[in-house]
Structure 1
Amino acid sequence: MRLLLNLLWLVLAGFWMFLGYLLAGVLWCITIIGIPFGIASFRIGVFALWPFGRTVVDKPGAGVGSAIGNVLWFIFSGIWLAIGHAFTGALLCLTIIGIPLGLANFKLIPVSLFPLGKDIVRTGDVNAAFGART
């Protein structure tokens, strides 16, 4: 089921959102100070390209630097990427088959707003860490 959802996602929303993250990452990487933001953009962009079967968790040890970086990210990139997720999510929710994909788009909004201090892991790894069966 994950493969089918990921393929639908790739065609209907994932590729376009990936291009948005790619553009943001390239713009951030123009300056030396922006390189960590560009890397975060590329990381979240790959997650936005193929999201089913993976999840976002808080990174242990992320501190004040991540919080300050998230404020800069929010101002320059996060709000625009979140608007993209909200817009494509609303469009996908117009059809019955697109509702799960639209909801997935809405779940990506928090990480698009504040990506620093987050890790992307396989869903099975999170379940194993908390003792749930996969």
Structure 2
Amino acid sequence: MRIGEVAAAAGVSTRALRYYEEQGLLSSVRSTSGQRHYDAGAVERVHWVRALYAAGLSSKAIVGLLPCVHTGVATEEMIGQLSAERDRIDAQVRELAATRDRLDDVIAAARATAAGRSCTDVEAAAS
């Protein structure tokens, strides 16, 4: 696949793909005319890289983990790193869930206020 095709299929810019290559997250083969060509797994790999970025991993961390992700073979160090990243993400999920729950309380209080009840009444009932 050419760079534009991968970019369109993965929902990213061609600039993002070039950046991923610079970081060692993605590779391509150059044609004789210099065009980048990617293998069939490139789109899935880009999706995975984006998911890991969204989870807060750095490109350096992702580079270290990708071989394990794609081959299923990992060193003890990789397993430790994967476990540490999972634990960090679990903590983020707990924090986000607590924030969501608090927002639910604020929304309920705001709705109650709009319905003629005070926020304090709703907070007291929620406690």
TM-score (norm 2): 0.28
Q: Give the greater-gyration-radius structure (CA).
A: 2
Work out which structure has the larger RCO, using CA pairs closer than 8 Å and 6 or more positions apart in sequence. Answer: 1
Decide which structure has greater strand share.
Answer: 1
TM-score (norm 1): 0.27
